[in-house]
Structure formats: C-alpha cells, structure tokens
Structure 1
Amino acid sequence: MTALVTEVEFELPKGYVDATGTVHRTGVMRLATAADEIYPLKDPRVRNWPAYLVVLVLARVVTKLGSLPEVHAGVVEGLFSEDLAYLQDLYNRLNGLTATQLAVTCPQCGAQHVVEVMPLGG
C-alpha cells in the first residue's frame, strides 16, 4: 500500500518578487480539502468576480513560498501570469482534476483509440 501524498514541493518558473525585491521561487502546496473549495465561494470578491476564486483557493493551499511568513491573496495576486498558470496546473494534477488518457478498443470494429477521461466535476 502506498502512502497518500498530501504535500508537494514546487519551483515557480519566474518567482514572486516581494516589496524588497527578493525573489521567492520554491514552495509547498498541500492537497485541497472540500473547505478549500467551498469557503472562498462565500467571499464577496468571488461573488462580484468569479475568476477571483482561483486566487483565494491557491492562497489556502500554497502553504509555503520562499521565506515569506505567509501566503495570502495579495501574494497570489502579485504572481506573474506564468507562475499563476503553473500553480493552477499543479493544483489540478495534485487534486486529480486533470484528464486521464486511456487506450480503449472499439467493441464493434476492434480499432484502438486514445481517449481523455475527465474526473467527476472536471
């Protein structure tokens, strides 16, 4: 039996630049809980701007970024677009939200195909 991986280390492509000019590239992301995806939906910023949900969710699950004392929404807002996309992809992979490719055989003609299967809710 394999152990459940609940945290992964990462390195941002560009890095977050804080107010002093320090670049923070390495960090840790934890597996999301239901609360991580539900509680931000109550935030007025999300109700007024649904795209802001990703900022709040990532601020909850990124537990470490460089030497920053905490990762909050303002930090996620300050990420470069490439780094935000990287964290979104990592979040999706870590939490099983990406499509899986499967090799299947057609029961009628016997031809083999590769298909993508999305997880529930994906």
Structure 2
Amino acid sequence: MRRRNVSSGDLLVGDPDTPPAAEPPARLQTEFTFQLPRGYVDEDGQVHRDGSMRLATARDELAPLIDVRVKQNPAYLSVVLLSLVVTRIGTITTVRTETIERLFASDLAFLQDLYRRINAEGHTLAEVTCPACETSFDVDLAGSRLGES
C-alpha cells in the first residue's frame, strides 16, 4: 500500500501483507412487512391488513410449475407462489393457497406487485409525481416500515 505523507510529501509504503480494513458485511433484508389496501376477511369476519413476505428462492419459483392447478390454469401460478412467500397476514401465520384465493382482487394485485418489486428490484419504493406541484418523491408501497430479516 502506497500513500503520501501529507505534511512532508514523502511516499510511505505500508505492509503489503496487511489487508485493507474491511467494512462489516451488509445485512440482507429477507422479509418485508406490508399493509393490504383492503384486507383479508377470515371466516369469523375479522379483517387482517398487516403482513409480511419473504424473498423468494429458486425452489419457490420452480415448485408451482409442477402443481396440477398451475398446469391446468397458468394464471393460478401467482396464487401458489404467493402462498409460499407470504409468511403472515394479520394473525394468520400459515398462509395457504385458499387464503390467497379469498383475497380481494386489489389485495392480490398489491401482493403481486410487492413480490415483483422485492424479488426483481430489491425494494418496495416507487417514484411518484404529485399531480398538483409536479414534485417527484419516493413512496413505500409496502405501506409501513420495512421489516427486518
């Protein structure tokens, strides 16, 4: 490692066997919290709006392709996929395909977009522009603070 002594202008040579100080590794966020636009209504009529979704694995993306329901109706792929990666909706911690099927269409679309954002883009932010003043700013589409892994 070579560097200049600022005060004298001399060239200083550091120990070549000493690695530069490494930064601590960044922690990968693998779980994201969200708030559904309408909410999931359970059998008792209780509305569940907050939840969490984890990052998808390669297995998550491949497993639905052998599901009979997906083979019969390719549109069902997102239902199966979301049931694998949504870890919680309100107090429901075992999210099944039946849970995803019972979501309102706007909530399903919201989760599909959230899935795409966190798995393809790595974040839940979207740039928007105010129609009145034309100021651009970021909005967190998850609707709440991001979760921690």
| Length-normalised TM-score, structure 2 | 0.63
CA distance in 2, matches of 1:5, 1:67: 22
Would you say the 8 A contact 2:87–2:93 is kept in 1? no
Q: Deviations over 1:2-51 (max 9, x none)?
A: 32110000000000001100001000100000010101111100000000
Give me the identity figure in percent: 53
Larger Rg: 2
**Number of the residue aligned with 1:59:** 83
User: What letter corresponds to residue 88 of structure 1 in structure 2?
Assistant: Q
Q: Which runs of 5 or more structure 2 residues have no equivalent in the other structure?
A: 1-24, 123-149
User: What letter corresponds to residue 77 of structure 2 in structure 1?
Assistant: L
Give the SS at the match of 1:70.
coil
User: What letter corresponds to residue 30 of structure 1 in structure 2?
Assistant: R
CA distance in 2, matches of 1:93, 1:69: 22
**Number of the residue aligned with 1:78:** 102
User: What letter corresponds to residue 26 of structure 2 in structure 1?
Assistant: T
- The 1:11–1:18 alpha-carbon spacing in structure 2 relative to 1, beyond 3 Å, is same
CA distance in 2, matches of 1:55, 1:69: 16
User: What letter corresponds to residue 75 of structure 1 in structure 2?
Assistant: T
Query: How many correspondences in the alignment?
Result: 98
Question: Structure 1 residue aligned with 2:40, among 13, 16, 28?
Answer: 16
Q: What pairs up with 1:44-55 in 2 under 5 angstroms? A: 44-55=68-79
Question: Structure 1 residue aligned with 2:51, among 14, 24, 27?
Answer: 27
> What displacement does 1:68 show?
1.4
Please say which of residues 62-71 and 84-93 is displaced more in the overlay.
Answer: 62-71
Give the SS at the match of 2:120.
coil
> What displacement does 1:72 show?
0.3
Give the SS at the match of 1:79.
coil
Query: Which structure is richer in relative contact order (CA contacts within 8 A, separation 6 or more)?
Result: 2
| Length-normalised TM-score, structure 1 | 0.77
Q: Could you say what the CA RMSD is over the residues aligned between the two structures, in angstroms?
A: 1.3
CA distance in 2, matches of 1:6, 1:69: 17
